[in-house]
Structure 1
Amino acid sequence: MATIVLGAATSHGPMLALPAKFWVERAQDEMKSDARMMNTLDGRRLTYAELYRERGDRHRDDIDLATFEKKEALCRSALDRLRADIEAARPDVILLIGNDQNELFAENNVPSLAVFHGDAITTHPRDTSRMPEWRVRVTRDYGMDWPRSYPVDRKMAEYLVGGLMDAGFDVSALGSVPEPEKLGLGHAHGYVLERFFDGSPPPVVPVFINTFTPLHPMRPGRCLALGRVLRQLVEADGTSRRVAIIASGGLSHFICEEEFDREFLALIAAQDWDALAAIPEAKLSAGTSENRSWLVLAGAMHGRALVWQDYVPIPRTPAGSGQGMGWSVWS
């Protein structure tokens, strides 16, 4: 049977692709925006101005460049440690779980669950000609500056599609990216393939769960169940392949909610399935919705030993918009 040699979850926020000096520029852009991107844990969407009126400048002492540089170093250390763990595990295939934000899927067709089974998958490039430098850097680190292709383990992907259907999961099967300039692989998957594999990973099986699009994001309990089924299928596939399962996304954003993040990580470590399944939908909105990828992985790692966790809260504005950066690794 195939062996799961590693389970790992990682944040993929833009600040992980940027030197700390650019965090200041990112924050300035955010404070000038009138978009309702600030998602509270009770499900509301606020502009930055509204967030500031509600929370004030409680993080004014956390947003100087020296603090940012210290946190950048902490993030880089965690990412380097995770990369070393992946390399030591020597996986033959990567089962990569992430979300999509109008990259591979358009608003007229967004599946709740999908698996890509073509021979290769290509990223959806962005026009960087008018982007500020910080966005250009992030686009490059997401593998979305030009159409980049990555090999897919087609045999395993098709096996998983059939197995998920047998297990009661209605899964969309994607076979090609005909026009990556219009739609293609996005940031959640591209970040992992570039940051940890320098764009040359072993064959990958891209798994997509809807988190951002309203009405039908996968519920927390269903995410856990999906993870358990994926593990059963991998371990029963009849090959000797070494499989790493990697989840990409989270933690809290576009408001950094440190207390919520630490509680979530503690529940993951304790494998408290009932509490994880009971997380209210309102708390998993906008960027924080990506925590669902972690839940899928946690389900797959049921009973496995958690090797390490790390967490770096990064409020980047006085009112606390920003992100919680986290990592969890299982043997």
Structure 2
Amino acid sequence: MTAIVLGVGASHSTLMNTHWEKVVDTARAEAFRDSLDEVNRRLKELRPDVAIIVGSNHFRGFWLDLIPPFTLGVGEVVASGESGTPKGPQKTDPVFANDLATYLVEAGSEVAISARLQIDHGQSHAIQYLLTDLDIPVVPLVINVFAPPLPTLERCAQLGRRLAEAIEAHADGRTVAVIASGGLSHQLPWPSNWADPQDDDEKFMVDAWLNGRGEWERFDKRRREIILAAQPCLFEDFDRRFLADLEAGRLEDYLRLSTAELEEIAGNGGQELRTWLVMAAALGFAPGSTLCYSPMPEWLTGMGVGVIEPNTAGDTT
């Protein structure tokens, strides 16, 4: 039997790599970095055999010509390497990944598969900071969180529950860490409707999203400029409430929210919290622990880290 040894939720931002010197209150940034280090220490102690990284993709591996709701990397995994994140082929376990995909599809949770998946910082940030010095394969599970219509939060939770079943059904005795990368609240300067861009920047973004396949780097400089010019928009009250609900084992309550409602209370970047809900569902929505919350306007994001221990799964007392 295969077992989940730890569930992790962690925010990501490439500005952590490129704009550390612009942080005004370094204590907030250091607290977040230290919490990533703490997760890395825990994972080194647990020594999982594989890490499933549930994350997003910021139009470096997926494009408007084809975006499935859920995609599992079952073969080669190549990181794009933008902004100081890992670059190039990553260690993988195609047999295990394909077994997961087969179980999920047969259980009724259709996932697309990719035998050559390009990931970006939506997952490689976790590889860089959480899996440091851990020579283990990764299985990326990419959730569409940026190109509406998005999968409902309930569908994401269903995927997480069946992912846990798929892991348990794999009878080779290996251990697994389930890592969610993304969130917390933030607002990206992206068009709210890719079919109706409102200005030159939005038209450029849509062009990049539609025509970037195989040449995303051609668009990246101006993309970066647009993002860096954005005004921070964080929802700190929401972030703290979300993490408190993680601690109380109440993240299942968020499944009633629509895509529009989640964006209203957490920004369009808050749609990445689907990844946390997949992870929490895989851990039975058990109570967890918050390691850190650092509102980081310099990085445009509310940065948080939380964990769920599997030995509490199913115990809501």
TM class, shorter-length: 0.7 to 0.9
| Correspondent of 1:220 among 125, 134, 153 | 153
Match of 1:102 among 52, 55, 59: 59
Kindly indicate whether residue 30 of structure 2 is the aligned counterpart of residue 13 of structure 1: no
Query: Out of 295, 300, 304, which is 1:313 matched to?
Result: 295
Q: Counterpart of 1:230?
A: 163
User: What is the correspondence of 1:60-209 to structure 2 with a 5 Å cutoff?
Assistant: 65=24, 68-118=25-75, 120-126=76-82, 139-140=83-84, 142-144=85-87, 148-177=88-117, 184-198=118-132, 201-209=135-143
Amino acid corresponding to residue 284 of structure 2 in structure 1: H
Q: Mark the structure with the bigger radius of gyration.
A: 1
Unaligned runs of 5+ in 2: 188-232, 310-317
Q: State the shift of 1:158 in Å.
A: 0.7
- Indicate yes or no: 2:272 matched with 1:272: no
Deviation at 1:313, TM superposition (A): 1.3
Secondary structure class of the residue paired with 2:8: strand
Q: How many residues align?
A: 260
8 Å contact kept, 1:2–1:243 = yes
The separation in 1 between residues aligned to 2:163 and 2:111, in whole angstroms, is 12
Give the letter for the 2:145 counterpart.
T
2:78 alignment partner AA:
T
C-alpha displacement of 1:304: 4.1
235 and 115 in structure 1: CA distance in 2 versus 1, 3 angstrom threshold: same
- 1:140-193 residue CA offsets vs partner (Å, 9 max, x unmatched): 1x224xxx111211111111111111121221111125xxxxxx2211111111
Distance 1:238 1:244 in 2: 16
1:109 Cα deviation (Å)?
0.5
Q: Distance in 1 between matches of 2:98 and 2:172?
A: 14
The structure with the greater share of residues assigned to helix is: 2
Give the Cα–Cα distance (whole angstroms) in 2 for the partners of residues 212 and 303 of structure 1: 25
Q: For residue 75 of structure 1, give the secondary structure of its aligned residue in structure 2.
A: helix
Amino acid at match of 1:192: A
Q: Does the 8 Å contact 1:150/1:200 carry over to 2?
A: no
Aligned amino acid, residue 173 of structure 1? I
Check the 8 A contact 1:267/1:276 in 2, yes or no.
Answer: no
**Inter-CA distance 121–259: structure 2 relative to 1 (3 Å threshold):** same
Matches within 5 A, 1:282-293: 282=260, 283-284=262-263, 286-293=268-275
Name the CA shift for 1:273/1:73 in 2 (closer, same or farther; >3 Å).
closer
Query: Within the alignment, does 1:323 sit opposite 2:301 as a pair?
Result: yes
Q: 2:283 aligns with which of 285, 291, 301?
A: 301
Q: Distance in 2 between matches of 1:103 and 1:289?
A: 18
294-303 or 269-278, larger mean C-alpha shift: 269-278
Unaligned runs of 5+ residues in structure 1 are: 24-64, 127-138, 178-183
Give CA deviations for 1:71-127 in whole Å, capped at 9, x if unaligned: 122112211111111111101111110011111111100110010111x3112255x
**SS at 1:110 equivalent:** coil
User: Superposition RMSD on alpha carbons, in Å?
Assistant: 2.0
Q: Identity over aligned residues, as a percent? A: 30
Amino acid at match of 1:230: L
Check 1:301–1:200 CA distance in 2 against 1; reply closer, same or farther (3 A cut).
closer
What SS class does the counterpart of residue 123 from structure 2 fall into?
helix
Q: Using a 3 Å threshold, how does the CA distance of structure 1 residues 209 and 190 change in structure 2: closer, same or farther?
A: same
Distance 1:81 1:200, change over 3 A: closer
Query: Paired residue for 1:27?
Result: none
CA–CA distance in structure 2, aligned partners of residues 270 and 76 of structure 1: 24
TM, length-normalised to structure 2: 0.77
Of stretches 71-80 and 104-113 in structure 1, the one that deviates more from structure 2 is: 71-80
